Structure 1
């Protein structure tokens, strides 16, 4: 048997379940029945593939949102015709022109943008107000001055602590938005994923789900109403037999306490699997097996049991079926966003169509 027969594709694979993402859109619709949905698909749809995800969910949402003009342009080039909101707005005259030509809805949040808008005074825009996060947004007092000179189609803000439903800032930020927008008659939006799930009073006219569309909560806790959409697998490259005292990997940080076998798996931090993993496991056909030694650039190693019958070419699940991304997040000391968006171009993506 030659290598091509054993290992036809030496690469990690991310399988994206578009049906799960559509399901999660429907969950949003059920939770926020009186609101319109602005689905946030920035950062390559949180690593799931921007055009593929956008095409799947466009019939189920009222608008899409991205962070940057370049992302919005990519959507238009992919023949996505629905409304596209650019959350960071434009940073130059050329980006403003792109917004006008492609009928994007930029978010205005700086005085520089207000000045540039004199060149496109009829362009519909959202205005972002800083209600306490102190990241992007005009001051509340500035909103009433600016609104009459722009073609404002909505006013938004962003919750800093929606992953903690009882945090006092949630109520304070909502109150500030309602107060400063009073009398404008504009649609309002403040609910991100955490608020969609846990703060119905924040749903208002538009909700802006992001991470929940892909099956995770902002804080990494289990959320039974939504389905994880991504699995990550990689092939076994090699099997090794170790003697007592043999060490594994860089730094020789793990040593065999008894004779054992390990499997070398073809995925590493250059693919986006976190080097910081501590006490992590993978899912094999035989069950969970621990990662031993350091995660390296292209590989990691797992400890097998005596009865395991794993072969070169067999697939190992890093997260997905039988192993939630929530667990990997905990082992890495991070959040789901970083794992999803951190997958690199070396990871092949396959799609399960709805």
Structure 2
């Protein structure tokens, strides 16, 4: 019998979440963000599943883009970090890839590299995040330089929101105002919203939206939000109980004895640890065993973690454990662990991943 740790990816849930994103976009186009191997879900399988309905996909770099093209994905495909060297531009043009241009250096390289086939450019403005992007005062000049190049087919305008997941933070409105002010009168389509912006901020729903996390069924907000009831988790992380023992009160549990039992306690060990991508979560983080919540106890190990089974009956070695999924949102696990669901989903490692595709009736989103 093999180690029971595994992930199941529900592609019908992915499609549902994409339809929800489209409904929120109000008629705008939606790029499905599948960078970082589709947030750990498998970029090729996810893109293949969405290819008939997605307006396009977004990845981080050319390596991810070429992998999708090689797998037969012909949809519009945007490289969010653009290009790092001018030598990439030949493949970008030949494979019909869209690129983000986020620096004056990239513009200079485009000016110096005539292309036989024109490319589409998404000119990114740094409207306040101060990560990458053209500064507002330089934006119109950058647009004009690109517009003069015959090998630039189309210029779209974009920015990225720094605080859209903080629903009471006024900085998002400031960014929208900066972006509007410095693109006013420039022809071309616009792209602003990430998942949080698409859900919460109507002003960010421009011609193109770029949702990522919500497509995988997780809320982008660190607080309760009604979107959670409308999303369907795509990944279920499973394992099983591999050991059960009863220990007396006062027994330390795990490395360094970070938990000590205060009564006679029935402990269960689950085949799942930080080498699998499970976080170094604290005592009390929920796990479902036989569908019932039990608290994590003691330090998470490389390959195993321990839970307190004292409050549930009829548990045996081999019984199923759910680390996150439909009945235990990854967002909730992330909150306990003091991290974000993006990191948990992207970090899964080492165990088998299977894909489930169900045919469902037409449903409201």
Same fold (TM over 0.5): yes
Alignment coverage as a number of residue pairs: 346
Q: Aligned ranges for residues 69-218 of structure 1 at < 5 Å?
A: 69-117=62-110, 118-121=112-115, 122-147=118-143, 148-150=147-149, 151=152, 152-218=154-220
> For residues 14 and 310 of structure 1, do their structure 2 counterparts lie closer, same or farther at Cα, with a shift above 3 Å needed?
same
Q: 1:351 aligns with which of 355, 358, 364?
A: 355
Partner of 2:251: 246
Partner of 2:338: 333
Q: Aligned ranges for residues 216-255 of structure 1 at < 5 Å?
A: 216-220=218-222, 221-222=224-225, 223=227, 224-255=229-260
Contact 1:15-1:351 at 8 Å conserved across structures: yes
> For residues 167 and 259 of structure 1, do their structure 2 counterparts lie closer, same or farther at Cα, with a shift above 3 Å needed?
closer
How far apart are 1:306 and its partner, in Å? 7.0
- Residues 1:319 and 2:318 are matched in the alignment: no
> For residues 284 and 307 of structure 1, do their structure 2 counterparts lie closer, same or farther at Cα, with a shift above 3 Å needed?
closer
> For residues 120 and 216 of structure 1, do their structure 2 counterparts lie closer, same or farther at Cα, with a shift above 3 Å needed?
farther
How far apart are 1:309 and its partner, in Å? 2.2
Partner of 2:347: 342
Partner of 2:306: 301
Between the aligned partners of 1:196 and 1:337, the Cα distance in structure 2 is 17
Between the aligned partners of 2:210 and 2:202, the Cα distance in structure 1 is 13
RMSD: 1.7
Between the aligned partners of 2:311 and 2:84, the Cα distance in structure 1 is 60
How far apart are 1:100 and its partner, in Å? 1.6
How far apart are 1:186 and its partner, in Å? 0.6
How far apart are 1:295 and its partner, in Å? 0.6
How far apart are 1:253 and its partner, in Å? 2.2
Between the aligned partners of 1:286 and 1:111, the Cα distance in structure 2 is 54
Partner of 2:363: none
Relative to the length of structure 2, the TM-score reads 0.90
How far apart are 1:142 and its partner, in Å? 2.5
Deviations for 1:228-267, whole angstroms, at most 9, x for unmatched residues? 1111111211122323333221112223333332111100
Relative to the length of structure 1, the TM-score reads 0.93
> For residues 73 and 307 of structure 1, do their structure 2 counterparts lie closer, same or farther at Cα, with a shift above 3 Å needed?
closer
How far apart are 1:125 and its partner, in Å? 1.3
Deviations for 1:17-64, whole angstroms, at most 9, x for unmatched residues? 111111111111111122111111111111111011111112222110
How far apart are 1:307 and its partner, in Å? 5.9
Q: Point out the more displaced range, 138-147 or 190-199.
A: 138-147
How far apart are 1:188 and its partner, in Å? 0.4
Between the aligned partners of 2:172 and 2:250, the Cα distance in structure 1 is 54
Ranges in structure 2 where 5+ consecutive residues have no aligned partner: 359-365
> For residues 278 and 97 of structure 1, do their structure 2 counterparts lie closer, same or farther at Cα, with a shift above 3 Å needed?
farther
Partner of 1:276: 281
How far apart are 1:286 and its partner, in Å? 5.9
